Amino acid sequence: MGLLERIGLRGGEKAEPLKPGFYSYVAPPSHPFNYRLHLRIEPGGDGLLVVNASTVLHLNQTATEYAYHFVTLTPREKVAEQIAKRYRVGKQRADQDYADFANKIQALIETPDLDPVTYLGFGRHAPYTDTMSAPYRLDCALTYKLPKGAPKAAVPTKRVAKELSTAQWKEVIDKAREVGIPHIVFTGGEPTLRSDLAELLMHAEDHGLVTGLITDGRKLADTRYLKTLLDAGLDHAMIVLQPSKEETWDSLASFAYWKEVLNDDIFIAAHLTLTKQNTKQANALIDRLAQSGISAISLSANELALNNKLQAARDHAAARDLPLVWDLPVPYSALNPVNLELEEGKGSHPVGAGHAWLYIEPDGDVLPEQGINKKLGNMLKDDWGKIWGKAKKQK
Amino acid sequence: MKLKIFSFVLLLALLLAPARVAQAQTYAFTVLSEIVNVYWESDGTLTLDYEIVFSNADYADPIDYVDIGLPNDTYSTFNTTASIDGQPINDIFPSPYVETGVALGLGGSAIPPGQIGTLRMSTSGIRDVLYTDNLDDTYASAVFSPNYFGSEFVVGATALTVIYHLPPGVTPAEPRWHPAPSGFGEQPITGIDPQARITYTWRNMNASASEFYLFGASFPKIYVPAGTILEPNFAQRYGFDPAILIPILFCSFIILFFVFIIWLSIVSNRKRRMQYLPPKIAIEGHGIKRGLTAPEAGILLEQPMDKIMTMILFSVIKKGAAQVAKEEPLELALTSPLPDGLRDYEVEFLNAFKEGEAARRRRALQEMMVGLVKGVANKMRGFSKGETLEFYRKITDEAWEQVKSADTPKVQSKVYEENIEWTMLDPNYEEETQETFSGRPVYAPIWWGRYSPSSGRSIPSAPSRSTGGGRVSLPTLPGADFAASVVGGAQRFAGGVIGNLSDFTGGVTKVTNPPPPPSRSSGRSYSGGGSSCACACAGCACACAGGGR
């Protein structure tokens, strides 16, 4: 380092916000809390920190820098040094702010029921209101094939004639990683009909992405098959419940089995669609689901008239200590308890569709979500900027 | 020898080197005496007459040249005459050794070692030697320093005499002398010379010929032409010695340069760094969670458990699912079959009362409360606890407002009946209830008899307000009794059903808010690990319900 550099007159570039990028951290298996962090640095320096693919934190530029160091495991003393070099702040203050930031994130991870606004001093950010550089999640319909005997209602519109190959899906996953999408959900059709499902899960896992699976669960009743998916890195699954099919229940049992055997924190949710025919059994079904050891429940109704029943079912699930998930690919319907409760959720599609998540058809075409057949482009053929630009226009 | 004349200040003092007797020789001498007559002429010029007596040392070389410094370069060698021991000196030329001055070549009259010689030199017409006095600008200041020699040549003391001859015409009262150098009398000896000019004489018999002395006097400007008096420059005015000033300036420049570099570095570094704003985290989540029942809102508002169970009691009685069979200790008679529309926690509440044994009933109620707390926590996921709390506090306030603003006791009772659970969420509901209803008759709600059998009225166990057009005659109660009965509901729970409230609550919160797991060992703990649920208080039915996720 030359004299001028030493005295700070030359060589020091003007500090700029961190460059856009995507960083992830996976807690080691020995850690008492199984968690993942994904940090996406947006153009301009602000960031998104996604905890366990479900809690989205919006960070200002300074918090983004601290998150970057937290995710990349920078030694604490180096963090203060770096921050003090880049910002007009003393090392002591930077160190204190970093410790405070890190403690808050840890508290959020380790105390899931803590209200972060009340107890950690977080602000609240209305969901999906920001202009983002990429969605939070990509729902990949690997195939539109369904198992034999599947109900007609479950057959998706046949919009595509061909399916992407394994290599092409891997390319989609690579692209998702590249643009900073932290979460991939494999859906269908019935994604377990793809023989390369485990391979794709592993590929996403290798990229540090959170992976999920939406399935009717029949194939997962086979514990050996389920084990291959878990070994490949499957983080969560949602079983679309078909109450009359015992295989569905068996799949839940299969999960419960591995959960106990592997002592793993597998997140398993079940989705129940309320219809006029099953509302009377809803509470009993929820009770049975609660006993099956699932982590959460997803509810929707097939018609708006069942809203009260849906809310009652939601209350019943809450009383059975079953948390509700409502923003996974199922329900595709906007008729889910939370969406119906929100003023902005009265539309025909869930809030966040085409913005917080996108949907990839089996041939790589991108839709805002399943059921909104407005093609935004093709994930393999088109530039991401063009696809995302179109998505934002449609928001 | 070298003569120096100084202006009002010492500007030239250090610019001129000490006088030199000669060059490249071994010189050593004593200046036995030095007499300088300094004539400040009426034309503004200076005339100098030097008489210097040298005593050359035995061991030294002859003194063959003497250089004398002069105040500035306005002197002329043509106006200069000199002699040594009476012998004229013709070899007079500008000194090559002092910046401003003349060299006197003694030639064959050089003073041999061990000999004494007397040098005389006279020069006139030296201009630009007067300055405006800095204390009185009507006066001219005349400052002069007699010649001095290099200390390496001079040995012994010198009898030094400096005689100022002020311009002709100056009267004795007008001139002022300047402070004398050390070793000279404080005041000069005043006198008048043969030309009737005022004289100031300074004398020191033990002066040093190698030391710098400065003498000065001021006199009115009118005695010399105005154009011959110079204005002192900055250094002269403020007494800086230019010879000192320059090194000081140089050092200051060096220091300033480094200060400037440091400053520039700080500024540059600061400019290069970005503005620091405190880190801010905002969680993505919805706002108000609507649709909670009053007991659920009570959980969120961290109301005591006995109060929450009283609210549930009111609720099941209003729905016609039960009636109080015995007030102390509380026993309920359940309706069979139970009516529709009961919440899960209400069913569990009623089931608890099927337990005959107090401890088992207590456990069942705890389980019910655990379920209720967890249910609220589940419902709050993804919503803001803070905004939801605010929302339900507002509902509570509005409930009381509606009750109080009712026009008639009948309307008031009806509104109160509809809102009773919400009013109970008010932390001051006991006082509010007594204040609102005491001292006036109260129309008891139709289900009142099921809640307070001691009021002596038997009421059917199912709601029967819709009577096909028939009128229901509601009983009136003294307001104070009514209020006491409502308020006493919670006390009945505390005393007769759940026993010690703290123990009961502890049994619930140990399930809903378990202690945090041991601190992780990943080395990323910064201040003692994560926090536990902040609302895990033992004395209230609080829940870590919510929020944002």
Secondary structure string (H, E, C) spanning B153-164: CECCCEEEEEEE
Share of chain B above pLDDT 90, in %: 34
- Which 341-380 residues of chain A touch chain B by CB within 8 A? 341-342
In SS3 terms, B183-218 reads as CCCCCCEEEECCCCCEEEEEEEEEECCCCCCCEEEE
Q: How confident is the model at residue B380 (pLDDT cuts 50, 70, 90)?
A: confident
In a domain, B281, yes or no: no
Distance CA A339, CA A342 (A): 5
Contacting residues for B290 by C-beta, under 8 A, at least 6 apart: A341, B391
Q: 3-state DSSP call for residue B38? A: strand
Residue B265: list chain A partners with CB under 8 A.
Answer: 7-9
Q: For residue A179, which of A168, A187, A171 has the smallest C-alpha distance?
A: A171
Answer yes or no: do B66 and B186 share one domain: yes
Residues 499-538 of B with CB under 8 A from A: 516-518, 520-522, 524-527, 529-535
Contact B301, B389 (CB under 8 A): yes
Cross-chain residue pair A318–B534, CB shorter than 8 Å: no
| B236 and B347 part of one domain | no
**Is A204 found in the same domain as A152?**
yes
What average pLDDT score do residues B178-189 get?
90
**Rounded CA separation B274/A60 (Å):** 13
- B287 contacts in A (CB within 8 Å)? 124, 126
Look at residue A344 in the predicted model and tell me its pLDDT. Answer: 52
Residues A299 and A357 in one domain: yes
What pLDDT score was predicted for residue B524? Answer: 54
Write the CA distances from A255 to A73, A260, B149, B471, integer angstroms: 33, 9, 110, 61
Per CB-CB distance under 8 Å, the chain A contacts of B283 are 55-58, 116-117, 122-125
Stronger pLDDT, A382 or B386, i.e. the higher one: A382
In angstroms, rounded to a whole number, what is the distance separating the alpha carbons of residues B80 and B137?
32
Write down which residue in B246, B263, B280 finishes a domain. B246
Is the Cβ pair B273, A88 closer than 8 Å? yes
Q: Which ranges of chain A would DSSP assign to H, the alpha helix? A: 3-6, 61-71, 76-86, 91-110, 116-120, 166-179, 197-206, 223-232, 246-262, 282-291, 307-319, 337-341, 384-394
Q: How many domains does chain B have?
A: 2
In a domain, B537, yes or no: no
Q: Are residues B167 and B301 in the same domain?
A: no
Shortest CA gap A53–chain B (Å)? 11
Residues 256-275 in B contacting A (C-alpha not used; CB under 8 Å): 261-262, 264-266, 268-275
Q: Mean pLDDT, to the nearest integer, of B6-27?
A: 46
Min Cα–Cα distance to chain A from B509, Å: 13
Is residue A62 in some structural domain? yes
Nearest residue, CB atoms, B281 vs list A31, A122, A314:
A122
Cβ distance B265 to A8 less than 8 Å, yes or no, reads yes
Give the separation between CA A98 and CA B153, rounded to whole angstroms.
Answer: 74
Do the strands B91-94 and B215-220 form a parallel or antiparallel pair, or are they unpaired?
Answer: unpaired
User: What mean pLDDT comes out for the span A97-111?
Assistant: 91
Q: Are residues A178 and A310 in the same domain?
A: yes
Of A54, A83, A88, nearest to B549 by CB-CB distance is A54
Number of domains in chain A: 2
Cα-Cα-Cα-Cα torsion A369, A371, A374, A379, nearest 10 degrees, comes to 40
Of A55, A59, A89, the CB nearest to B549: A55
CATH of the domain at A346: 3.20.20.70
Ranked by mean pLDDT, which of A359-363, B97-101, B236-240 comes out on top?
A359-363
Are B199 and B335 part of one and the same domain? no
Exposure string (b/e) for B15-45, b if CB count within 10 Å is 16 or more?
A: bbebbbbbeeeebbbbbbbbbbbbbbbbebb
| Average pLDDT of span B491-499 | 72
How many inter-chain contacts (A to B, CB under 8 Å) are there?
Answer: 229
Contact (CB<8Å) B547/A115: yes
- Which pLDDT belongs to residue A157? 59
- Write out residues 364-403 of B within 8 Å (CB-CB) of A: 371-372, 374-382, 384-387
Residue A287 lies in a domain: yes
Q: 3-state DSSP call for residue B232?
A: coil
Q: Is residue B13 part of a domain?
A: no
Burial class (CB in 10 A: 0-12, 13-18, 19+), A269: buried
Nearest by CB: A107 against B284, B344, B530: B530
Distance CA B545, CA A38 (A): 25
Answer yes or no: do B239 and B302 share one domain: no
B406 lies in the same domain as B331: yes
Check whether residue A90 and residue A171 sit in a common domain.
Answer: no
Indicate the pLDDT class of residue B328, thresholds 50, 70 and 90: confident
User: Is residue B348 domain-resident?
Assistant: yes
CA distances, B312 to each of A341, B308, B328 (Å): 25, 6, 18
Residues A192-223 have pLDDT tens digits of 999 999 999 999 989 888 899 998 888 888 88
pLDDT for position A354: 83
Q: Is A106 on the interface with B (CB under 8 A)?
A: yes
Look at residue B174 in the predicted model and tell me its pLDDT. Answer: 92
Query: B149 and B35 share a domain?
Result: yes
Sheet containing A47-51, strands listed edge to edge, beginning at the edge strand earlier in sequence: A21-26, A36-41, A47-51, A55-59, B281-284, A123-125
Full 3-state SS string of B445-481: CCCHHHHCHHHCCCCCCCCCCCCCCCCCCCCEEEHHH
**Cβ atoms of B517 and A111 closer than 8 Å:** no
Q: Which of A116-125, B186-195, B281-290 has the highest mean pLDDT?
A: B186-195
Same-domain status, A101 and A151: no
Same structural domain, B86 and B169: yes
Residue B101 token pair: 């001055």
Contact in structure between A366 and A137 (CB atoms under 8 Å):
no
Indicate if B156 and B61 belong to the same structural domain: yes
Query: Of residues A321 and B515, which shows the higher confidence score?
Result: A321
pLDDT at residue B533, rounded to an integer: 34
What is the band of B162 on the pLDDT scale with cuts at 50, 70, 90? very high
When pLDDT is cut at 50, 70 and 90, the band that residue A275 belongs to is confident
* Pairing mode, strands B215-220 and B176-177: antiparallel
- How many whole angstroms separate alpha carbon B532 and alpha carbon B511? 14
Mean pLDDT value across chain B: 80
Same domain, B302 and B241: no
Cα separation, B131 vs B229, in Å, equals 5
Assess whether B202 and B340 both reside in one domain: no
Q: Could you tell me which residues come within 8 angstroms of residue A165 by beta carbon, excluding any fewer than 6 positions away?
A: none
Q: Has residue B2 got a pLDDT over 50? A: no
**Tens of pLDDT along A60-91?**
999 999 999 999 999 998 999 999 999 999 99
State which residues form the domain around A72. 3-120
Which tokens go with B369?
A: 């409360």
Does B351 reach chain A within 8 Å, measured CB to CB?
no
Question: Can you give the pLDDT at residue B365?
Answer: 92
Mark whether A46 and A193 lie in a shared domain: no
Residues B322 and B235 in one domain: no
Of A57, A128, A314, the CB nearest to B283: A57
**B491 lies in some domain:** yes
3-state DSSP assignment of residue A306: helix
Return the CATH number at B108. Answer: 2.60.40.1730
Confidence band of A4 (pLDDT split at 50, 70, 90): low
Would the CB atoms of B282 and A57 count as touching at under 8 Å?
A: yes
Hey, what amino acid is at B406? A
Residue A306 has pLDDT above 90, yes or no: no
- Residue A362 clears pLDDT 90, i.e. is over it: yes
Q: What is the CA radius of gyration of chain B?
A: 57
Asked if B343 and B476 touch (Cβ cutoff 8 Å), the reply is no
Q: Which residues contact B515 (CB under 8 A, 6 or more apart)?
A: B532
Query: Could you tell me if residue A130 is inside a domain?
Result: no
Give A336-352 pLDDT, tens digit per residue: 777 667 655 555 666 67
Count Cβ atoms below 10 Å from residue A179 Cβ, excluding itself: 18
Quickly tell me which residue has 């005022």 as its tokens: B198
In DSSP notation, A112-138 reads TTS-HHHHH--EEE-TT-S--SS-SEE
Rounded to whole angstroms, how far apart are CA atoms A192 and A199? 12
Q: How far apart are CA B6 and CA B36, in angstroms?
A: 14
pLDDT at A153: 60
pLDDT at A120: 85
Question: Residue B100 belongs to what domain range?
Answer: 29-246
If you search the block for the tokens 């002591």, which residue do you land on?
A: A92
The pair phi, psi for residue B372, each rounded to 5°, is -65, -45
Nearest residue, CB atoms, B277 vs list A62, A70, A104 = A62
Q: Do B298 and B307 meet the contact criterion of CB atoms below 8 Å apart? A: yes
Whether residues A317 and B534 touch (CB distance < 8 A) is answered with no
Q: How confident is the model at residue B516 (pLDDT cuts 50, 70, 90)?
A: low
Pick from A59, A101, A124: which is nearest to B548 by CB? A124
Q: Among A250, A248, A215, which Cα is nearest to A234's? A: A215
Q: In chain A, positions 127-156, which contact chain B (CB-CB < 8 Å)?
A: 127-128
Cis preceding linkage at B191, omega within 30:
no
What 3-state DSSP class applies to B244? helix
- pLDDT greater than 70 at residue B11: no
Q: Find chain A residues with C-beta within 8 A of B285's C-beta.
A: 117, 124-125, 127
Averaged pLDDT, B167-174: 92
**pLDDT (average), residues B257-277:** 83
Selected residue of B276, B374, B520 to mutate for chain A interface (largest A Cβ count, 10 A):
B276
Kind and range of the H or E run holding B92: strand B91-94
Domain co-membership, A18 together with A46:
yes
Report the distance separating Cα A363 and Cα A159, nearest Å.
Answer: 9
Per-residue pLDDT at B18 exceeds 60: no
Q: What residues does B207 pair with on adjacent strands? A: B158
In percent, the amount of chain A with pLDDT more than 70 equals 86
Q: At what angle do helices A246-262 and A223-232 cross, to 10 degrees?
A: 50
CA distance B526 to A75: 11
B295-309 per-position pLDDT tens digit: 999 998 888 888 898
Please indicate if any CB of chain B lies within 8 Å of the CB of A302. no
pLDDT of residue B13 exceeding 50, the answer is no
How many residues does the structure list for chain A?
A: 395
Is 60 exceeded by the pLDDT of residue B12?
Answer: no
What is the per-residue pLDDT for A161? 76
Same-domain check for residues A142 and A83: no
CB B93 within 8 A of CB B103: yes
Euclidean distance between CA atoms A53 and A208, whole angstroms: 11
Whether residues B279 and A62 touch (CB distance < 8 A) is answered with yes
Residue A39 has what pLDDT?
93
DSSP structure string for A241-283: --TT-HHHHHHHHHHHHHHHHHT---EEEEEEEE-TTTGGGHH
Residue, of A143 and A393, whose pLDDT is higher: A143
> Residue A325 — very low, low, confident or very high, per pLDDT cuts 50/70/90?
confident
For chain B, the straight-line distance linking the first and the last C-alpha, in angstroms and rounded, comes to 99
How deeply is B90 buried, as exposed, middle or buried, from its count of CB atoms within 10 A (0-12, 13-18, 19+)? exposed
Q: What are the tens digits of pLDDT across the range B450-475?
A: 887 765 444 443 343 433 334 445 56
Asked whether residue A150 falls in the same domain as residue A96, the answer is no
**Cβ A185 vs Cβ A369: under 8 Å:** no
User: Which chain B residue shows the shortest CA-CA distance from A69?
Assistant: B524
d(CA B465, CA B446): 8
* Owner of token pair 């366990």: A52
Contact B79, B153 (CB under 8 A): no
Question: Between B266, B280, B544, which is nearest A115 by CB?
Answer: B544
